[in-house]
Amino acid sequence: MAHFFPTKRISIFVGALGSGKTELAINTALVLARECLVALVDLDVINPQYRVRMVKEMLVSRGVEVVCPPDQLLQADVPALTPAMLGVLSREDRYGVFDVGGDDIGAVVLGSFRPYLPAGRYAVYYVVNACRPHSATAADIHRMIDRIERAARVGVDYLVNNTNLGSETDPETIIEGRRILDVVAEQRGIRVAFTGVRADMAAAVQELHADIPVFPLRLYMRPPWEK
């Protein structure tokens, strides 16, 4: 069972609120850190309870550079790009993983640095949790992607299935989310890069559908009441 490994130097994760894109960005950065230099950029201005900076110490200890705007800049409608962020985009000696906003409002941030994205060197991953409102049907997902693409001024390159019900998740729930996303993928002419699965369930999902690329995830973002 292979981990997801980006094919482009810059990986940008976007998605509706509650999609789990921050967990995916963190896990991707940690996989990259095993083999190369990587920086994880926190540009989520929507959800203050689930930000990369919450686990910054752990990430740094495992070789991940964490970049985020100063707190005062995060309060702006569109945070200014710092020299550190621009460095991640321009430096060829390291990979960059970007955790960008939630919904189309957060995607405006991505649109603000569209001119700085290195041509041919980045990929945008749209993360879907089909158990969340506004992502339960193919039509819902299309509408949200369209809104994010307009706001971000970039196209989505890949879809990511991250369907889950938290602690109530079972393999069938995950696979049903993949079926919905396969419909979207065919209609948009893009592919599903992988299915994110909690590590302890990855083998069960792979056994049910051997053709589904699975990315086993360790969960780092905990709600305040579980801390």
140-169: per-residue pLDDT in tens?
999 999 998 988 889 999 999 999 998 899
CA gap 117, 38 in Å, rounded: 16
Six token digits for residue 227:
């801390």
CA gap 224, 226 in Å, rounded: 5
**Please, which pLDDT band fits residue 62 given cuts at 50, 70 and 90?**
very high
Question: How is the chain split into domains, by residue range?
Answer: 10-220
Six token digits for residue 82:
């710092």
pLDDT of 75 higher than 70: no
C-alpha distances in Å from residue 74, one per residue of 41, 55, 77, 105: 13, 17, 8, 14
pLDDT, residue 43, reads: 83
* Average pLDDT of the residues in 37-43: 92
* Average pLDDT of the residues in 60-84: 73
pLDDT, residue 77, reads: 52
Q: Considering the chain, what is the average pLDDT of its residues?
A: 86
pLDDT digits (tens, 9 = 90+) for 204-219: 998 887 777 899 999 9
Which of 48-52, 125-129, 148-152, 170-174 is the least confident region?
A: 48-52
pLDDT, residue 215, reads: 93
pLDDT of 201 higher than 70: yes
Instruction: List Cβ neighbours of 126 (8 Å cut-off, separation of 6 or more).
Output: 14, 15, 145, 148, 156, 158, 159, 160
C-alpha distances in Å from residue 160, one per residue of 24, 56, 116, 125: 9, 24, 24, 7
pLDDT, residue 83, reads: 82
Q: Please give the CATH architecture assigned to the domain spanning 10-220.
A: 3-Layer(aba) Sandwich (3.40)
CA gap 67, 56 in Å, rounded: 9
Which DSSP string do the residues of 43-95 spell out, in sequence order? E--S-TTS-GGGGHHHHHHTTEEEE---HHHHTSSSPPPPHHHHHHHH-TTSE
Which of 13-17, 95-99, 135-139 is the least confident region?
A: 13-17
